Structure 1
């Protein structure tokens, strides 16, 4: 198909790019620190309150407030220079962890502090993702995203596994000091290793106004909206199940180390899934596997309804985590669907939705667990994940022409329209209107 490269990239090609190496290393360290913070803070809250609902809220408190940052300040991902922006983000995480570790704060104040810092997360995450999309092209970008996801899974696995040991050995508050040091290290890596690149030129105007208008333009596009929902909803539902592992292990009477084992299962599966799908599967095959992998993501949690043994529970979480590789079949379509001048904010919106809904998921399914039982809430999270497979479009639209005028339930109807030059935009060559006034953007990266 013209304009579409089906050649598989290599890890060597991806790591040969200096900016990617810096962003990869710093983000991996920060994610491990976040995982450790989640474990330590969840233990503090559950010990203090004995509430499964508050424990689930603690798991997702760093996610939900990101909707404010993405909605009000998302344009800063493009308007500000990326290096100082990313350094400031990691610096804020460091200071928050120090306060959690050293200040005698009540539970509500701890949660409020984490929520406040989370407001800025989509801004510096959007800047980082924009840089990755700028320096990696074609399948190298997809493989770079795969590497990032694998590292995220590995970092979460390490953070969760070490988190239980660290909390047991050092105490939850002292374990939080480790997260502060890790975020400081991530900030230093970016400050020293990343070039001080300029911001993206903008048409002017206030940051809040531009953020609102750009987000509205992105969400008004049915194809972009569909790709966003496909990346938002399954993750939100499955994270809702993961957030209940503390309460589930408690109700089952599992040993103390079971919580870390169960919570580490999904990141381990994510690592395996991205390694196999990202490196060993062709770009076209990845798009064909999106729907099956969404089903793999959602079906295993349903098994928790039957209260299986601990080993089976752990295996179910690993299997579910493998399904996260479904997102690799959507990466190139999303990059090509958004205008280059607003790319940073588009990634910020993607991150905002992911994190916000991953905050809503634990709250919703935590409430279900409080009204019924953790096993039923985990199973329900799996069922709702399975239903999102209905959103997956035909693979030809993920790899080929962009169905501009299709709605969420009517992608198949674009087959006729994709032959009409007024209604379809081909990957790699045709014009997509800019989100801001100005000249047409360059051709999309293949």
Structure 2
């Protein structure tokens, strides 16, 4: 096992243009992150690949439904975006540490482009379409974990890393708001298979940006048995009390917070707001999340973000308790937006997690974090849907808020007991 040739602090890209400390022209807030040239390429590549995923999901859903007329098979397209993350995260996380990270990122993008290209071919059977969708989903945690570990090299493991990761999450939330709308417009102009060709171009463009816009760095560890190293690394991450506590608090809130999104269509029908209301219900929480991240990232110091982490994580689901008694759609949207704003707790958790994980485990740890996050979201959606078969949607959302608050308070106390001072 060997480390990098230089520590992360020695590999930071210099801001452009360099500013003297204390200069009035020195970048502040998120501008400091964009001053790092490599991050600008990573950011652009992330936006393109994410756009590709959103468009491919929409196009494939329409294509499968058009070919089969089956709501179940078309819904599997979205479900398969969550389920394979656990497999990819558990069995393939070692890729992030055993191979040069730039190569891993480029290969993942090219593999996704190849899968989308095969989907676009006329006559591709339904079963093959779903398998190809699974392959894209399996690569997602490896890609995300490797990219996150690389961010710690590009930006260091301090506040720049936190802000950089925050920006990538903001792009992810923005893609949910914009991507499906753009995809819908695109499908009025081209066929679903034509939209998949556009997806091929976005993945290929992302690969090019990463290949020529970022520096080659050596692998964190030597090569070995991939599956054994992946499982061993995940076990080491979970065995450490500190990292386990932070991971659990990272995964806890999303298990419950997805309930309103998963039940948006049924919720809109229950409160009588029609199809337009579905879109508003699905947009409210992402809008709040973006606002919360921007406020915390741009206006709060690292110490202030650390101080609000546990209170926000513990109380963020409380607005959902009011949903059954709120008088109209506007108040429901406000409650969802407030829950989204509380998502700013993730900035503090990011800092604690990257500090707690040893460098040689960083890729596997970040991959496991992503895989667990997506798996809990998928499980939360399934649980919410099952509960809504027996109880009104508003009651299910309220119950998710209540049970989630109890769970998150306990997890926050557990993190606090691991010794992190709230001002760090």
Q: Tell me the TM-score normalised to structure 1 length.
A: 0.78
Judge which range, 17-26 or 262-271, deviates more.
Answer: 262-271
Would you say the 8 A contact 1:294–1:388 is kept in 2? no
Going from structure 1 to structure 2, the CA distance change for 1:171 and 1:113 (only over 3 Å counts) comes to same
Cα distance in 1 for partners of 2:213, 2:227 equals 30
Question: 1:430: which partner in 2?
Answer: none
Give the secondary structure class of the aligned counterpart of 2:258. helix
2:233 paired with 1:200: no
- Structure 2 CA distance, aligned partners of 1:307 and 1:97? 43
Within 5 Å, give how 1:19-418 maps onto structure 2: 19-41=38-60, 48-50=69-71, 58-103=77-122, 110-137=129-156, 138-167=158-187, 170=190, 174-202=194-222, 204-250=223-269, 252=271, 254-294=273-313, 297-306=316-325, 309-393=328-412, 408=414, 411-412=416-417
In 1: Cα distance, 2:299 partner to 2:342 partner = 15
8 Å contact kept, 1:295–1:323: no
Q: Give the CA deviation at 1:84.
A: 2.2
Q: Secondary structure at the match of 2:389?
A: helix
Moved more, 36-45 or 381-390: 36-45
Q: Alpha-carbon deviation of 1:161?
A: 3.2
The structural deviation recorded for 1:124 is 1.9
2:245–2:418 contact (8 Å) kept in structure 1: no
Change (3 A) 1:307 1:299: same
2:221 match: secondary structure: coil
Q: Structure 2 CA distance, aligned partners of 1:321 and 1:353?
A: 20
Q: Does the C-alpha gap of structure 1 residues 78 and 413 become closer, same or farther in structure 2, counting only changes over 3 Å?
A: closer
What is the CA-CA distance between 1:361 and the residue it aligns to? 1.7
Give the 3 Å change call, closer, same or farther, for CA 199–337 of structure 1 in structure 2: same
How many Å apart are 1:43 and its aligned residue?
Answer: 5.7
Q: Distance in 2 between matches of 1:413 and 1:343?
A: 20
Report SS of the residue matched to 1:289.
Answer: helix
After alignment, is 338-347 or 259-268 more displaced?
259-268
Alignment partners' CA distance in 2, 1:173 and 1:247: 30
CA-based RMSD of the aligned residues comes to 3.2
Q: In 1, are the aligned partners of 2:243 and 2:353 still within 8 Å (CA)?
A: yes
Query: 1:384 offset after TM fit, Å?
Result: 3.4
* Aligned 8 A contact 1:161 1:260 in 2: no
TM-superposed deviation, 1:94: 2.5
Q: Give the length in aligned residue pairs.
A: 395
Cα distance in 1 between the residues matched to 2:359 and 2:61? 39
C-alpha distance in structure 2 between counterparts of 1:310 and 1:237, whole Å: 21
Q: Which runs of 5+ in 1 are unaligned?
A: 1-6, 395-407, 419-426, 428-445
TM-fit CA distance, 1:257: 3.9
Q: 1:178 to 1:391 in 2, by over 3 A?
A: farther
- Distance in 2, Cα, partners of 1:228 & 1:126: 14
